[in-house]
A and B are shown apart, each in its own frame.
Chain A
Amino acid sequence: MQMILLVDPEKCTGCKLCEIACSIKNAGTGSPTASRIHVVKWMRSGVYIPMVCQQCDSPICETVCPMDALKRDKETGAMVIDYDRCVGCRMCVVFCPFGGVGIDTTHGRVIKCELCEGDPVCIKFCSPEALLYVPATSVNLMKQRAAAERFSELMKKMLAPP
């Protein structure tokens, strides 16, 4: 079953637990540049948006990579970097429209979210559930239910006896 790392910015509280947990799991260290996920924040308006690789169906990173170093993991659906092939040209960094590929300056390599081999650590640290790892088939069902709940409350009010 294909799973998706689903980001819901409305629920994000901006605590950055996902960033530090990601860095420890994937780089063994607490490094702001080693995190594969990044919470973008606007202080004056209180908007927080976690940005992470979208694991696109037609990944630009794969297209621009001259070394064929980016491949889809069949099990997890994640685009993963084959560091044996990667020459560090950073074309993927340049072309990804989401900033999904970054540079870990400490370890001197490009990095991206590879879904922790199907067990993403970030979701385990996200108590408001702004990050979820869910079956691709149920992504829109969840959103439909959330939207329908608002309608249902309205309808319950309308149908309630006076």
Chain B
Amino acid sequence: MLRRKIAYIDLSRGKIVTKDIPAKIRRLYLGGRGIDVYLLYNHIKPNINPLGSENVFLIGAGMLCGIPALGSGRCDIAAKSPLTGAVGDSNMGGFFAPELRFAGFDHLVVTGRAENPVYLWVRDGEVEIIDASQLWGKDTFETQTAIREIHRDDEIQCMAIGIAGENLVRFANVRTGMKNSAGRTGMGCVMGSKNLKAIAARGTMDLEFAHPDKLLEYCREMNDMIMGTRWARAQSRWGTMIIYSNTNTTGLIRCRNFQYNLMEKGDVLECENIDKYSVGMAGCYGCPVHCRHRYVLTRGPYAPLYAEGPEYTSQGAFGTMPDCPSLETVLFANHLVNMYGLDTLETGNMIAWAMELYEKGIIDGKTTDGMRLEWGSSEALIEMIHRIAKREGFGNVLADGMKPAIERIGRGSEYYAIHIKGMGNLQSDERPTPSFALGIATSTRGADHLRSRPAIDLYGLPEEVLEEIYGEPVSNDYTSYEGKSRMVWWQELLYAVVDSLGLCKFQTVFCAVHAPKFEEWTNLIHYATGMKFSKQELMTIGERIYTLERLFNIREGFSRRDDTLPERYFNEPTPLGLPIARGKKIDKERFERMLDEYYELHRWSKEGEPLEDTLKKLNLHNEPSHLL
């Protein structure tokens, strides 16, 4: 299983070199996100232009990709982010990563820049650079279909960019299948800057497992374990849309950008309403949960349409944030961003921000080319998506992401922008939940829930249960600040490891308490690869990965002052919701104290810099070590 290779592809010179991945690197970083961050730190020189040929584009299959359990198809994609200038790293499901492994590779390192559009063809131990002039201009669906036709093989799995990536929209994503996306931090933009339209993989090589019989039995146990949780069963039926029922009722969701914490007309977006359009669920590779809707629109302005999703994220991006009470608009917008290859979340966040600026009179029809960016306007929302992807008119301003757009618009527009380190936030409103707020502030890739969110904090579980998970007492009141830094720290380690194993985050302790975690993973790794790790060793690997990401960001000039929240979190109390969530804002002083505790848990200095002793303990004191 660990015989998979790494290929270095220099697009400028058309040179390809393949190498083995040393066992030492596996022990330190596992695979996927872990090895990607090692490569990121080792191969990218400080302060380079993320859109220049010196940026390095990384693709990594998780170490357990291909096992029959827990959504083992996750692929990690990394580079220096053109959106934030910090760690660029995004993870996608689907079928690409296992196919890459069957084709003989775990990691690809793409450097340089091709003169003309190209795609990579990875096939049973070989990598080829192929002209993609005919594919340039095609959307993400057409591109995948075209590549299958070129090679006359329907089993090919592709990751591709759409028009947004070609146009260097800073939050363009990488797409595979109908809906799976490495959405965050603009990885599609980096592909576009390298003239790399797609990577296609097809493999027939065996994955050898160390203990196949035990693995098979244990995988079944793992699938039963996750399907035994209510969360997974609910997800099987409703997808992540189920989250909305709770958050919108409680008042944990952003509406009208950041004006309200609940969408009053939001009933139409409840997950039950998808039944009218859903024709069944779909799963990623190796997933017993299958949380993705397959849906059709047969009537109305957006018909006919077949698409997949939408995630909770899109419900917010095109529903609650722009206050648009139309599920059909959400379904169509979700399809559009997937077609163009845009990060759904960043797109919705940018448009909602622009709508608030329009309302406040900071921008007007002159700026927006006559478009009326009014709350809830489906027309404006859909039109803005087209314009961002094509970089037309005002879309060209938004396409550059938050920081450049703020600079261009000025006039106090910054105050209304909900971003951290240059990346927009999910539609969640973290003012009532200090643990979530700390998580988005400290995330190494900018505002983001998938780096650390302790979603089980919302459940009010018995404190004994929480202590068992987190190792020390933490409060079970989600509005409390007590022990929340520990929750965030622990989840950061957990997610760093799950992203490196290539398993689905929804199949560990994200929303489900009784889901597989470190202990179970040690067995899975042993049966699949023969390598033995203890729980503590896996946690140390998580710490190493997170700390190395931190070192990357420090090298790029980030520091404690960037680990903060948009001002509005401290100034404006939440106006709506249940009593527990109403009238809440983040207390600056307590937030700073939480941040201190959080640094201490990581054994970083008060300034958020890893201590010398910490680096030694994590074996990071000699980085960059260039072992790979």
Contact = CB atoms under 8 A, between A and B. Distances in A.
Interface of A: 10-11, 13-17, 20-21, 24-25, 27-34, 41, 43-46, 48, 105-106, 121, 124-125, 127-128
B156 to A, nearest CB: 11
Contact of A31 (B207, B286, B287, B290): B207
The 8 A-B residue pairs with the shortest CB-CB distance, nearest first, are A30-B207, A15-B283, A13-B290, A46-B294, A13-B283, A127-B288, A31-B206, A20-B68
A17 B288 contact: yes
A153 to B, nearest CB: 14
Contacts of A33: 204
B546 interface: no
A43 B212 contact: no
Interface stretch (B127-135, B274-282, B404-412): B274-282
Contacts of A17: 68-69, 223, 283, 286-288
28 contacts: A10-B280, A13-B282, A13-B287, A14-B282, A15-B285, A15-B286, A17-B68, A17-B283, A20-B67, A24-B215, A25-B216, A28-B212, A29-B206, A29-B208, A30-B206, A30-B208, A30-B209, A31-B207, A32-B102, A43-B141, A44-B141, A44-B306, A46-B294, A121-B216, A124-B220, A125-B68, A127-B227, A128-B290
B34 interface: no
Given A15-B286, A27-B206, A43-B177, 19 more contacts: A10-B280, A13-B287, A13-B290, A15-B290, A17-B223, A20-B286, A21-B219, A24-B216, A25-B216, A29-B207, A29-B208, A32-B102, A32-B203, A34-B206, A46-B279, A46-B306, A106-B206, A125-B223, A127-B289
A44 B140 CA distance: 11
Where chain A touches its partner, the secondary structure class is loop
Interface in B217-231: 219-220, 223, 227
Contacts of B236: 127-128
Interface of B: 1, 66-69, 95, 102, 141, 144-145, 154-155, 177-178, 203-209, 212-213, 215-216, 219-220, 223, 227, 236, 279-290, 294, 306, 308
Contact of B288 (A48, A105, A121, A125): A125
B209 A24 contact: yes
Contacts of A29: 206-209, 212
A46 B290 contact: no
A156 B209 CA distance: 53
B369 to A, nearest CB: 33
A105 B207 CA distance: 14
B224 to A, nearest CB: 9
Contacts of B66: 20, 30
Contacts of B141: 43-44
Nearest to A27: B206
Contacts of B178: 43-44, 46
Contact of B290 (A21, A44, A127): A127
